[in-house]
């Protein structure tokens, strides 16, 4: 028995064509190896923003997880984070509930008991929204959670809790590769709380992320274009402030998983949207900003920011001309696009650890022209159990998962909650790599 991890080179994959991507690189073709590298895949809520944290991004909300105990078990990791105290509650299902569906009839009473409990806490702070998080079991039972939530809202009428919104959050891991995976659905749920409001031509929303965009040139460009209110859900302190997102003249979508909710907002609230993709090629970023500026009816003066990002690339290249990267998929970015961008910058990419979705084949095809020997591994493939770092000659790794596979090589995890965007993303990544290598040299 060979005890080694399966890989294919970029050249192999390019030659096979989009329809011939090897099974070992695809999702759903084998058991999913569970290592720290794949934790974010197996349990998106365990790291970063999964359904649970995403649902609670609505200001002044709490969450009732109605599920078997196992589904809420790791929530204590989140409960201990700042801002989550007294925000998670659990209604545990048992085997009888599975057969009778009785747990659903208990939801209104459980919500009331939670609200009474919160009224009695030191802060006496009552939530404006109760998110009901349900899981795979209810997906299979075909539970109509919209109806359960409506009934729960009705049950609060004529009580001191009247007006509290109750909304479903679907943590259906089973549907992860379906048309509406959980992280798409939860964004739709969140923004479905918005009601039509009078439009403000000087208001824009940035949607898709759950932590604020910081330090990005985008906010500056929008302000220079006369946009006075730039709203992100993560910067709304109150529920009322969040509701004002309905005033936006247009939405900027920074994560493809927010496309469906942007469509909903277009249809229901008449808010059009434009999408910005996170890429690491400065020419591509410039092209995206140009398109956005056209929509806004202005010109973004981005030369300085582009020069700064290009300067960071040049500094790294000057100091480390033969720098070789290994790249994982637990990063703020598309690992294949990132690899291609790095290759175009003149760096080497030795290994990529990522599941190759067919839509990313185009990046591999172009990468094969510049770096045919780049090895593609799939994080989830069972033989990754035998991945051997000693075969890698990389100088630096990007991605939390890449750090796991190559513990002796300097790593930039680059999967922070506060996501990078545009030139700022390129500049900061280059500088982080530069700093990590300098630190390692010491």
Instruction: Give contact residues for another protein (rule: CB under 8 A).
Output: 1-3, 27-28, 30-36, 39, 41-47, 67-77, 79, 88-95, 98, 103, 106, 109-110, 113-114, 117, 135-137, 139-141, 171-178, 380, 382-383, 385
Query: Minimum CB separation from another protein for residue 95, in Å?
Result: 6
Nearest approach, Cβ of 112 to another protein (angstroms)?
9
Q: Half-sphere exposure (CA, 13 Å, Cβ side) for 441?
A: 8
What's the rounded Cα separation, in Å, for the pair 331 and 37? 11
CA gap 230, 219 in Å, rounded: 8
Compute the least distance from the CB of residue 109 to another protein, in Å. 6
Count of other CB atoms within 10 angstroms of residue 175: 16
Least distance (Å) between residue 436 CB and another protein: 22
Calpha distance 293→286 (Å, rounded): 10
What is the 3-state secondary structure of 167-189?
EEEEECHHHCCCCCCHHHHHHHH
CA distances from 393 to 236, 324, 387, 396 (A): 46, 8, 14, 9
Helix (H, G, I), strand (E, B) or coil at 363: helix
Tokens of 345: 């910058």
Q: Tell the smallest beta-carbon distance from residue 163 to another protein (Å).
A: 22
Which CB sits closer to another protein, 94 or 215?
94
Q: How far is the CB of 217 from another protein (least distance, A)?
A: 35
CB of residue 90 to another protein, shortest distance in Å? 4
Phi first, then psi: give them for residue 250, nearest 5 degrees: -160, 165
To another protein, the closest distance from the beta carbon of 68 in angstroms equals 4
Which C-beta is closer to another protein: that of 149 or that of 384? 384
Question: Three-class SS of residue 350?
Answer: strand
Nearer to another protein, 67 or 230 (CB): 67
Distance linking the first and last C-alpha atoms of the chain: 42
Tokens of 211: 């932590």
Say which residue the tokens 């770096």 belong to. Answer: 371
Q: Which residue has the tokens 């637990």?
A: 330
CA distance 96 to 103: 9
Question: Minimum distance between the CB of residue 131 and another protein, rounded to whole angstroms?
Answer: 16
Residue with tokens 């079991």: 137
Q: Do residues 65 and 91 make contact, with C-beta atoms less than 8 angstroms apart? A: yes
Strand partners, 351: 326, 375
Nearer to another protein, 172 or 273 (CB): 172
Nearest to another protein of 115, 331 (CB atom): 115
Which positions ≥6 away from 283 have C-beta within 8 Å?
Answer: none
Between residues 73 and 315, which has the closer beta carbon with respect to another protein?
73
For the CB of residue 138, give the shortest distance to another protein in the complex, in Å: 9
Tell the smallest beta-carbon distance from residue 394 to another protein (Å): 20
Q: Which is nearer to another protein, 173 or 370 (CB)?
A: 173
In three-state secondary structure terms, 338 is: helix
CA gap 21, 148 in Å, rounded: 43
Q: Which is nearer to another protein, 171 or 421 (CB)?
A: 171
Nearer to another protein, 141 or 293 (CB): 141
140 vs 291 by CB, closer to another protein: 140
Question: In this structure, are residues 367 and 343 in contact, taking their beta carbons and an 8 Å threshold?
Answer: yes
Distance from chain centroid for Cα 125: 29
Q: Which is nearer to another protein, 72 or 127 (CB)?
A: 72
């Amino acid at each position: 028995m060979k005890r080694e991890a399966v890989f294919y080179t970029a050249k192999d994959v390019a030659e096979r064509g989009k329809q011939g991507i090897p099974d070992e690189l695809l999702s759903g073709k084998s058991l999913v190896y569970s290592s720290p590298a794949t934790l974010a895949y197996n349990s998106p809520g365990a790291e970063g923003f999964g359904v649970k944290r995403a649902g609670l991004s609505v200001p002044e909300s709490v969450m009732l997880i109605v599920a078997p105990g196992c589904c809420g078990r790791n929530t204590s990791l989140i409960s201990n984070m700042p801002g989550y105290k007294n925000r998670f509650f659990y209604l545990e299902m048992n085997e009888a509930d599975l057969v009778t569906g009785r747990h659903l009839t208990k939801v209104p009473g459980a919500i009331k008991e939670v609200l009474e409990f919160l009224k009695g806490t030191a802060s006496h702070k009552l939530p404006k929204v109760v998110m009901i998080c349900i899981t795979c079991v209810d997906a299979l039972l075909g539970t109509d959670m919209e109806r359960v939530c409506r009934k729960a809202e009705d049950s609060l009428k004529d009580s001191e809790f009247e007006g509290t919104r109750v909304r479903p959050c679907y943590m259906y891991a089973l549907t992860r590769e379906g048309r509406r995976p959980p992280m798409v659905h939860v964004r739709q749920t969140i923004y479905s709380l918005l009601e039509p409001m009078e439009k403000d031509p000087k208001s824009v929303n940035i949607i898709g992320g759950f932590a604020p965009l910081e330090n990005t040139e985008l906010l500056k460009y929008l302000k220079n274009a006369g946009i006075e209110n730039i709203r992100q859900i993560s910067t709304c302190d109150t529920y009322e402030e969040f509701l004002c997102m309905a005033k936006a003249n247009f939405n900027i979508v920074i994560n493809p998983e927010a496309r469906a909710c942007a469509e909903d907002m277009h249809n229901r609230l008449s808010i059009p949207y434009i999408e910005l993709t996170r890429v690491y090629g400065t020419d591509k970023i410039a092209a995206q900003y140009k398109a956005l500026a056209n929509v806004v009816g202005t010109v973004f003066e981005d030369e300085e920011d582009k020069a700064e990002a290009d300067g960071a690339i040049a500094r790294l290249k000057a100091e480390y001309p033969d720098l070789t990267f290994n790249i994982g998929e637990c990063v703020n970015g598309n690992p294949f696009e990132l690899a291609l961008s790095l290759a175009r910058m003149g760096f080497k990419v030795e290994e990529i650890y990522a599941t190759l979705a067919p839509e990313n084949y185009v990046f591999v095809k172009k990468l094969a022209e510049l770096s045919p020997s780049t090895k593609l591994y799939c994080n989830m493939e069972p033989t990754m159990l035998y991945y051997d770092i000693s075969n890698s000659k990389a100088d630096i790794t990007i991605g939390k998962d890449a750090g796991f596979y190559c513990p002796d090589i300097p790593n930039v995890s680059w999967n922070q909650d506060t996501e990078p965007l545009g030139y700022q993303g390129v500049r900061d990544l280059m500088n982080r790599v530069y700093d990590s290598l300098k630190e390692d040299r010491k």
